[in-house]
Chains A and B, each alone.
Chain A
Amino acid sequence: MNAWFADPTTLLLGAITGLFFGFLLQKGGVTNFNVIVNQFRLKDFTVLKVMMTAIIVGGLGIYAMRLIGMDVPLHIKGTALLANTLGGLIFGVGMVILGYCPGTAVAAIGAGSRHAIIGVLGMLVGAGIYAELYPWLKANILEVGSIGKVTIPEQIHISPFVLLIPLLIGAIVILPRLGKNASNPSRV
């Protein structure tokens, strides 16, 4: 009925989640243009450290909750080999030019980045362009190699922990060796 707003509880929960999410992105330094671009220049591994740690901790917790029988549904996005790959490549190019991804761009606005505002305006225009392209993309690109909402452990018939635990050990060994010093956000 309401074309604009979801119910207040949903909005409140989203707002609280966003508040913590934005707070953490800022403290992690990943709302900083230099930190993000320097990740892609392989000069600063902060982005990789934050992401891999979040992935491993998040994955261990979510699959552990499911293991002990808690009702924690997964939210798997569909795999379409061509669209995931081509979209990811295009995304990577755009992310380096902008110096943010969508979440870190919005957070960076809160932390004072003015050019991130322009970047988000570009995203809105891009979303409009994508909606125009969508019928053609759906007919020609999006369904190519579509294999549904699958996970890697499902596909190779193993427990998720068989992937997560080696990933954890790998991260503990490798991440601290990458770029010993994070770039200082006030300098480059």
Chain B
Amino acid sequence: MTSNPIMKLLKEPRWSPYLVGILLGVLSWITFATMNKALGTSTTMVRAAGGVERLVAPEHVDNEPYFVKYLGTAAEPKPVIEWQFALVIFLAIGAFVAATLSGKIKSEHVPDLWEQRFGPSRWFRYAAAFLGGMILIIGARMAGGCTSGHGLSGGMQLSTSGWIFMGAMFAGGLPTAALLYAGLRTKGGAS
């Protein structure tokens, strides 16, 4: 019990989606107006993968036009760890702080919904997560962005690419969810 309303809000495990949406919008105003940046995350996966390849096989990276595009060449390198990379690292820290404030960090190996449908095997869940991550990033890089770059940033700028991406994302995701979770009887959202 705390009397400070701000502290009380910070300790709430879950905020209204509208409040969160409004604050994400305001965060975007700030990055656009003061940093000349738009929120995004998936390019960082390219920089991280290319950075690792640069460590183990630098000459190979020089022959990969896609990595050269983001990381330059060995002779003229561009930094691996830049604004968005720092953002992505601190995404985890921000979520950690938010979860810690509401006092409920617990390890999740197999999410409830997955377990109801596919059972409690950790390894099956890990294999699916790996495969899903691989598929998702190939799609994101082909499209030129993900839920944050195309969805949030592209969506708010009313960019044509962003809205096409969001439509396609649901067009791919809805039937996948229907197929994967067909026949599962849960209350789902309606509690």
B14 within 8 A of A: yes
The residue in chain B whose Cβ has the minimal distance to the Cβ of A107 is B95
Q: Which of A87, A132, A133 neighbours the largest number of chain B CB atoms within 10 Å of its CB?
A: A87
Residue in B41, B128, B191 whose CB lies within 8 Å of A102: B41
Known: A97-B135, A123-B45, A181-B189. A19 touches B93 (CB 8 A): yes
Contacts of A102 in B (CB 8 A): 41-42, 44-45, 88, 136-137, 140, 146-148
Q: A15 touching B96 by the CB < 8 A rule?
A: no
The residue in chain B whose Cβ has the minimal distance to the Cβ of A141 is B142
B171 within 8 A of A: yes
B7 within 8 A of A: no
Residue in A20, A32, A132 whose CB lies within 8 Å of B64: A132
Q: A57 touching B15 by the CB < 8 A rule?
A: no
Total contacting residues, chain A, CB less than 8 A? 140
Contacts of B92 in A (CB 8 A): 22, 106-107, 109-110
Q: B41 touching A27 by the CB < 8 A rule?
A: no
Residue in A53, A132, A160 whose CB lies within 8 Å of B18: A53
- Where chain A touches its partner, the secondary structure class is helix
Cα-based distance from A182 to B48 in the complex (angstroms)? 35
Query: B residues 3-23 with Cβ under 8 Å of A?
Result: 12-15, 17-18, 20-23
Total contacting residues, chain B, CB less than 8 A? 137
Known: A6-B81, A53-B18, A130-B141. A18 touches B29 (CB 8 A): no
Contacts of B18 in A (CB 8 A): 49, 53, 175
- How many residue pairs, one in A and one in B, have C-beta atoms under 8 Å apart? 550
Known: A91-B172, A126-B133. A84 touches B144 (CB 8 A): yes
The residue in chain A whose Cβ has the minimal distance to the Cβ of B111 is A33
Cα-based distance from A181 to B191 in the complex (angstroms)? 6
Cα-based distance from A41 to B136 in the complex (angstroms)? 18
Residue in B66, B107, B156 whose CB lies within 8 Å of A130: B66
Query: A residues 1-16 with Cβ under 8 Å of B?
Result: 2-6, 10-16
- Where chain B touches its partner, the secondary structure class is helix
Cα-based distance from A26 to B69 in the complex (angstroms)? 32
Q: B13 touching A128 by the CB < 8 A rule?
A: no
B25 within 8 A of A: yes
Q: A89 touching B88 by the CB < 8 A rule?
A: no
Contacts of B144 in A (CB 8 A): 77-78, 80, 83-84, 87
Q: Which of A61, A131, A160 neighbours the largest number of chain B CB atoms within 10 Å of its CB?
A: A131
A70 within 8 A of B: yes
Smallest beta-carbon distance B177→chain A, Å: 4
A165 within 8 A of B: no
Residues of A within 8 A of B (CB): 2-6, 10-34, 37-38, 40-46, 49-62, 65, 70, 72-81, 83-99, 101-116, 118-135, 137-138, 141-142, 147, 149-153, 155, 160, 163-164, 175, 179-185, 187-188
Given contacts A18-B89, A80-B161, A87-B144, 11 further A-B contacts (CB under 8 A): A13-B83, A17-B83, A53-B20, A75-B38, A76-B154, A93-B136, A102-B137, A102-B147, A128-B49, A130-B46, A151-B160
A-B contact pairs, 7 of them (CB 8 A): A6-B81, A14-B84, A22-B96, A25-B20, A55-B156, A87-B168, A130-B46
Q: 7 smallest A-B Cβ distances: which pairs?
A: A53-B21, A22-B94, A88-B168, A87-B143, A92-B172, A122-B133, A57-B25
